[in-house]
Chains A and B, each alone.
Chain A
Amino acid sequence: MKSLTGINLLPKKSRLQLRQMRIIKQASLAAGVILGAAFLLAIAVLGLDFYSRRRGKRNQQGLEAAKAEYIQFSDRINELQELRFRTKLVAQTLEKRLLFGPGLTRAEELLEDNAVLASLSVEAGKFEISGTLLGVSQLEKLEEKIMTTDFKNVVLENLGVDQDGKVTFSLEVQFKDL
């Protein structure tokens, strides 16, 4: 005997109607879920938007208050900035300035105590020294010091010995590190 399982005994038209009803049902369910989700998402986003705006306003107020607290020290801020600005200018000025003290000390050390200086001038890092030495032995000592001191440039401009053995000299020196 032939099995009747799987054989729809309904008329063809009714079967089509049943399928249409099922499609409508499924489509309605899907639409409901999607629309519901969309509404929920919209509500969540709008809620978050509202919350973040309110939070933003509160943060803005907090910032204004913090700014006001900071600005109330404007006198001190101004004083401090003036100090920093002037300190920067002072640093530039000191950096640019040539110091003569150390060079003078070293130039003086070149000569023995009993040498007589006639003139000493300094310009653009060049030291011009002229004077009198009491004897040739002092000249040798001067020469020795010149040889052992770190000079960039040494020019003996003038050298003379008189009848008493006194040596007059004039020299120009430049220290390497000054």
Chain B
Amino acid sequence: MNDKLFLRKLAIPIGGILLAVFIGVFLVFPRISKVRSQLAKNQKLLESREDFLQKARLIASLDEEQVKQRASLAALALPKEKDISLILYALSEPARSNGFYIEQLKFNLGEITSSQEGSPAENKEVKDKAVVQKKPVDEVPIEMKVVGSNQRLISFIQSVEKVLPIVGINSFQANYNESGRVSVNLNFYLSISSHRASYDPEKLSLADLALSVSEEELLAQLANFKTTSSAASLDLQETLLIPVGRENPFLLGH
């Protein structure tokens, strides 16, 4: 065997080894990292699937009726809209139950604008301004003058603080007279919020789908507040709403 023949014969195993190296470098190793990431992805998919199933099971196990009741209680505590009947109820119910009568009631629900009024540019400006100024909770300021027995003043104030929708007192002035009557000027506010929850249902965790202990406690506390019934609300609408002019329809009493 001469050297040329030897080298030619040796080229075959060397070529084989090179082919093996080629297979390893360009096929096996890149594929190993791909397989590893695919396996990790599979594991993640399995975990996500299990997570969704657990969430579905949790939601299915919730008492729908109780959630609805609580949602309506929370919505009543902090109304979404400036509802006159609710405002009137929140104020008149404590007065009525403590033998007080309302001598004067003044509240302003704010500017009323029609979506058809104004140019598109003006509307956009108003809209932008509203977005900048919008707070999660708005307050409707209310002034009220009530008259009743001085013995029931504290009970009246406590009732105001225990009624839904939530009413906050800023200040009050009580003037007593010799006949045992007291005339009270109250300056307070009713909280409202038109904001809605913004969330991505898929990103909610299991903990997000259950009420926390503090939320449960708060809802139990709200359940002890005095609430309106639809009948009472209707009754108020029939007896207390006074027709007024378009220029300021929410200003009652002077």
- Residues on A lying within 8 angstroms of B by beta carbon are 17, 20-21, 23-24, 27-28, 30-32, 34-35, 37-39, 41-42, 45-46, 48-49, 52-53, 55-56, 59-60, 62-63, 65-67, 69-74, 76-94, 96-101, 104-105, 108, 116-124, 131
Contacts and interface: CB of A to CB of B under 8 A. Distances in A.
B158 A24 contact: no
Contact of A35 (B19, B67, B173, B215): B19
B240 interface: no
26 contacts: A32-B16, A35-B23, A37-B20, A38-B28, A49-B31, A49-B38, A59-B42, A66-B48, A67-B202, A70-B55, A71-B201, A80-B62, A80-B71, A81-B197, A83-B71, A83-B74, A84-B211, A89-B195, A90-B218, A93-B78, A100-B169, A101-B154, A117-B176, A119-B173, A121-B173, A124-B171
A92 B137 contact: yes
Interface of B: 1, 6, 9-10, 12-17, 19-21, 23-24, 27-28, 31-32, 34-35, 38-39, 41-42, 45-46, 48-50, 52-53, 55-56, 59-60, 62, 64, 67-68, 70-71, 74-75, 77-78, 136-137, 150, 153-154, 157-158, 161, 166, 168-176, 178, 191, 193, 195-197, 199, 201-202, 204, 208-209, 211, 214-215, 218-219, 222
Nearest to A105: B154
Given A87-B215, A121-B171, A46 B31 contact: yes
Contact of B168 (A32, A73, A76, A93): A93
Given A77-B59, A99-B161, A82 B174 contact: no
Nearest to B60: A73
Closest 3 CB pairs of A and B: A31-B16, A31-B13, A85-B197
A45 B197 CA distance: 48
B197 A49 contact: no
A159 B23 CA distance: 105
A79 B68 contact: yes
A76 B161 CA distance: 31
A18 to B, nearest CB: 9
- The prevalent SS among residues of A at the interface is helix
B78 A86 contact: yes
A38 B209 contact: no
Nearest to B209: A80
A23 B13 CA distance: 10
A76 B59 contact: yes
